[in-house]
Amino acid sequence: MEFSAEQIAGILEGTVEGNPDVTVSGLSKIEEGQPETLTFLANMKYEEYIYSTGASIVIVNNEFTPTKSLPKTLTLVKVEDAYSCFAKLLEVYNQMRQKQPGIEKNAHISDSAKIGDEVYIGAGAYIGDDVVIGNNVKIYPNTFIGDNVSVGDHTLIHPNVSIYHDCKIGQNCLIHAGAVIGADGFGFAPDENGEFQKVPQIGNVILEDNVDIGANSTIDRATLGSTILRKGVKIDNLVQVAHNVEIGNNSAMAAQVGIAGSTKIGKHVMVGGQAGISGHIKIADKTQIVAQSGIPGSVKRSGKTLMGSPGIEIDDFKKSYFGFRKLPYILNKLRELEEKLK
């Protein structure tokens, strides 16, 4: 798949400085640029690399003026914002790489399923009874979609995803390989003999529009009602969201976060990797939780940054940590004082 500098400038509403007919067929970092690849320069601390890069085309900001001689083989595409334009180009490139509409052999589709227009369904996919698939949906091979599931328009589901019965997936969602949506929540109750008996999990999972789910993440179905990820939520790889959790609009969770059952996460909350959040609590809007922190209780005031386990406000944590690091010194001083007192 090749693009010329002139075509790229047309997509990005930019201008060409150099050879408009030069073509590229791949992407590269500016410091690792190879012939016939495209790269960009947005952060000027990388400017030195543009004078030695092997890339054929570099996207730069309109105000960029070279301070040295550029490689003779290099063509510039000047745009208003190099970073956002490169991201736009990546999206165009990604869309062109996606599968064309059609149903491949060995896909099982129930007679009662309703399939929209311009849909791709890969080989080995299973579409259960009464499933509703919207328009322009792409379902890659070996994906399981259980009975009575609905999938909104323009959603992309990568290979080996499992979506259990009754779950609802919104429009423009992205679900990466190996994710499991709607497995049973961890519900068990001990009987009179102390043996655990399973509590049926009869709820579902709802992903609203524009939700991203990372590879091998798990979103458990509710015991009753719904586990809900609101519009714009972004979940990284290897994240566990337990039964009856609700995550507010445009919140984001990094890899290996674990959220226990029935916790309510506010809007615009950001959680760093490997953080753990206890069950049956509430996290206020715009809370930020630093990686590897533990949150055992509700966070009632919005906009706080928490660190540590149990999580406390980050400035308090830093002061406490400073004291903790000096603890051996303090203990030695105490021993010296004890000896003097004796």
| Residues with active-site annotation | 243
Residue 333: both structure tokens together:
């001083």
d(CA 146, CA 316): 48
Compute the distance between CA of residue 53 and CA of residue 261 in angstroms, rounded to an integer.
51
Taking the C-alpha atoms of residue 151 and residue 156, their distance in angstroms, rounded to an integer, is 9
Alpha carbon separation from 292 to 127, 233, 238, 258, 265 (Å, rounded): 38, 20, 14, 10, 17
- Element containing residue 90 per DSSP (H, E): helix 82-97
Tokens 């004082």 appear where?
337
**β-strand pairing of 15-17 with 75-79:** antiparallel
Q: Are 183 and 221 in contact (CB under 8 A)?
A: yes
Burial letters 163-175, b for 16+ CB under 10 A, else e: bbbbbbbbbbbbb
- Whether residue 266 contacts residue 302, with contact meaning beta carbons closer than 8 Å, is answered with yes
d(CA 114, CA 49): 53
Beta strands in 15-161 (DSSP E): 15-17, 23-24, 26-27, 37-41, 57-61, 75-79, 102-103, 108-109, 114-115, 120-121, 126-127, 132-133, 138-139, 144-145, 150-151, 156-157
Distance CA 336, CA 341 (A): 9
